[in-house]
Amino acid sequence: MGRAVKIAMAGEGGQGVQTIAQILTDAADLEGKEALYIPNFGVEQRGGVTIAFVQIGDERIGAPKFKIADIVIALSGRAVRRTRMYTGPQTLFVYDSGIEGVEGDLPDNARQVLPIPALETANKTLNPRVFNILILGAVIGATRVVTIDRAKQVIEKRLASKFEKNPELRELNFKALQAGIDLVAGMGVEK
């Protein structure tokens, strides 16, 4: 892997951005990689934009925060606007294609801007409750910072009590993870 992959993810409070970041860093830790996660919450107690800064690599990570991300994931209109500043010529900027009115706010300096139908896919073929796991799959599919097996292992551990009560949730979450990977693969991510 070499240098750390810098990931900035943002969305509205409750969309699971911080959970995705925690799962990614826990999976990286299980793989013996260096991982760093810094949460950033808006001033609003509820309904504010939340950002997660994640770095994963094979070598020690020198600074907790970064100016330019390798990949930005924006899950709401406000998140698109808040994350533009972390975009540069090498950045893959991924946003949910269901967000309306952001065309003028999308970065024009990114390597690639990739709209993915994440919420639509979660709502139509899975369940809205696994939207964040679908996004996790998209991050893994675009970056390969962790393996799907390690991500599943962390999801299994974090949601063990829910899976015990409802075993179908395990399959639903793992389907969502794969669906996110497939979404990004099907959209033609430039390397």
DSSP 51-79: EEEEEEESS----S--SS-SEEEE-SHHH
Do the domain assignments include residue 65?
Answer: yes
Is the pTM here over 0.85, yes or no?
yes
Report the alpha-carbon distance of residue 88 to residue 67 in Å, rounded. Answer: 9
**What would the pLDDT profile of 129-188 be if each residue is shown by its tens digit?**
899 999 999 999 999 999 999 999 999 999 999 999 999 999 999 999 999 999 998 776
Overall number of domains in the chain: 1
Q: Is residue 70 part of a domain?
A: yes
78-129 residue pLDDT tens: 999 999 999 999 999 999 999 999 999 999 999 999 999 999 999 999 999 8
Q: Which two tokens stand for residue 134?
A: 């679908």
Answer whether residue 30 is part of any domain: yes
CB 136 within 8 A of CB 71: no
HSE (CB half, 13 Å, CA atoms) of 115? 12
Give Cα separations from 47 to 40, 44, 63 (angstroms). 14, 7, 29
Give the pLDDT score at 29. 96
Residue 191, domain member (yes or no): no
* CATH code: domain of residue 44: 3.40.920.10
- The position carrying tokens 């994931």 is 73
Q: What amino acid is encoded at 156 in this protein?
A: E
Indicate whether 84 belongs to any domain: yes
Task: Give the domain range for residue 143.
Answer: 5-186
Q: Could you give the 3-state DSSP secondary structure of residue 5?
A: strand
7: tokens are 């990931």
Rounded CA separation 116/95 (Å)? 6
Q: What is the pLDDT of residue 11?
A: 92
| Nearest in space to 36 (alpha carbons), one of 81, 66, 73, 2 | 66
34 pLDDT more than 80: yes
Parallel, antiparallel or unpaired: strands 5-12 and 71-74:
parallel
Task: Work out the angle at residue 179's Cα, subtended by the Cα atoms of residues 177 and 184, and round it to the nearest 5 degrees.
Answer: 105
